């Protein structure tokens, strides 16, 4: 139902009581706004609204934004876009009328705006996901967490200034879970990390009769920032070692040969295994090669203008734009939605291309005692 004409579009801005998360009345004074859902922001969800009426929306509670429409077959769909806290901005008063704007901050703000205020230690042997869930629920957040079999191998102490969100995300990462994110209802999700390209695409943007994207797809990549040389230095009381790894492969787009210049990453290594300078140098060269490969992943982005659909950050998506010769499968990392007629939406799809190129390493013992 996502392609084709849409009629009877409606945006609804509903008050959600905090912390019960029960729905209350609609904010009829809201005139528009936008939302941005991002995989790389701490809160994941953000947005803004504009309002005009006889009262300012109550910012002690939350807002849930709904979008609905009727498709060409007469089928009705309505669903939430995001739920978050209201952060009121400047208001303008004109007799009994008042207008202004407000920011929407995702529900994870309840965890990012506060912390324990003291060094917090979690014990070895605990279920980190269960601990993260407990901290989030203690803040009033609703949580859906997958079971976890991993247990912390050792105790860990968080710093005095760490927020609850930083603590929660550290615990989730230790269990190889994704960082915390929220669904459109505002429920915090704690789920195992799965490479998006290992999933079946939930969304396909294809230029045929099922198309619901628009012309104007934008492409970009990180080639300008992709390194092609790594140089490492290690030093202790007995030895000083230098190692280099190079991408001189003429068949690789980011190599020194193709680019005609070096893009360098240089680091000092603090710990290095080995009983002899020769063994340590070999390990340093291997580490340089690993650093080069780890930092050479090519990242491509496709920004796709489209009709709104209930996209979720980290969903797997496929683009088959045959007329433009564009084809890719990747992860949705950002969704921008306008709360207006047509619900103009832009979806960013991120594709990681693992490099396959010849690495040349070299090194030397600079000095030894």
pLDDT tens per residue, range 334-356: 999 999 999 999 999 999 877 77
**Separation CA 172–CA 143 (nearest Å):** 13
**Mean pLDDT for the stretch of residues 309-322:** 94
Q: How far apart are CA 83 and CA 65, in angstroms?
A: 6
Residue scoring higher pLDDT (295 or 65): 65
Give the N- to C-terminal CA distance of the chain in Å, as an integer: 74
pLDDT class for 223, splitting at 50, 70, 90?
A: confident
Report the C-alpha gap between 128 and 125 in whole angstroms: 9
Q: What is the pTM of this model?
A: 0.83
305 within 8 A of 207, measured Cβ to Cβ = no
| pLDDT recorded at residue 197 | 63
Instruction: Report, as an integer, the average pLDDT of 328-332.
Output: 93
Q: How confident is the model at residue 174 (pLDDT cuts 50, 70, 90)?
A: very high
Q: pLDDT grade, residue 328 (50/70/90)?
A: very high
Q: Are 274 and 282 in contact (CB under 8 A)?
A: yes
Angle, in degrees to the nearest 10, between helices 128-138 and 164-174: 160
């Amino acid at each position: 139902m996502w392609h084709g004409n849409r009629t009877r579009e409606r945006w609804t801005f509903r008050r959600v009581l905090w912390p019960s998360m029960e729905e209350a009345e609609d904010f009829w004074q809201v005139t528009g706004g936008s939302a941005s859902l991002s995989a790389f922001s701490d809160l994941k969800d953000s947005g803004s609204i504009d309002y005009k009426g006889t009262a300012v929306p109550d910012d002690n509670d939350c807002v849930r934004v709904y979008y609905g429409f009727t498709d060409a077959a007469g089928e009705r769909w309505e669903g939430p876009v995001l739920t978050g806290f209201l952060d009121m901005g400047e208001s303008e008063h004109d007799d009994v009328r008042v207008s202004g704007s407000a920011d929407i901050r995702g529900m994870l703000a309840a965890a990012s705006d506060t912390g324990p205020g003291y060094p917090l230690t979690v014990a070895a042997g605990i279920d980190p996901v269960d601990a993260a869930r407990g901290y989030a629920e203690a803040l009033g957040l609703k949580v859906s967490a997958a079971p976890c079999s991993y247990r912390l191998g050792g105790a860990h102490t968080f710093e005095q200034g760490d927020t609850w969100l930083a603590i929660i995300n550290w615990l989730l990462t230790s269990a190889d879970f994704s960082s915390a994110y929220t669904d459109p209802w505002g429920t915090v999700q704690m789920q195992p990390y799965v490479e998006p390209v290992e999933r079946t695409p939930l969304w396909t943007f294809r230029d045929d009769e099922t198309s619901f994207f628009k012309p104007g797809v934008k492409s970009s990549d990180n080639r300008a920032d992709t390194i092609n040389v790594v140089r490492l230095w290690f030093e202790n009381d007995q030895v000083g070692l230098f190692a280099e790894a190079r991408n001189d492969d003429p068949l690789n787009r980011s190599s020194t040969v193709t680019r005609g210049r070096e893009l360098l990453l240089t680091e000092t290594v603090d710990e290095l295994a080995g009983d002899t300078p020769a063994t340590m140098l070999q390990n340093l060269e291997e580490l340089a090669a690993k650093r080069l490969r780890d930092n050479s992943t090519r990242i491509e982005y496709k920004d796709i203008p489209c009709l709104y659909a209930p996209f979720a950050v980290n969903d797997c998506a496929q683009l088959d734009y045959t007329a433009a010769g564009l084809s890719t499968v990747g992860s949705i990392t950002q969704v921008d939605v306008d709360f207006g007629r047509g619900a103009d939406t832009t979806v960013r799809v991120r594709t990681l291309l693992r490099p396959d190129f010849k690495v040349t390493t070299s090194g030397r013992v600079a000095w030894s005692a």
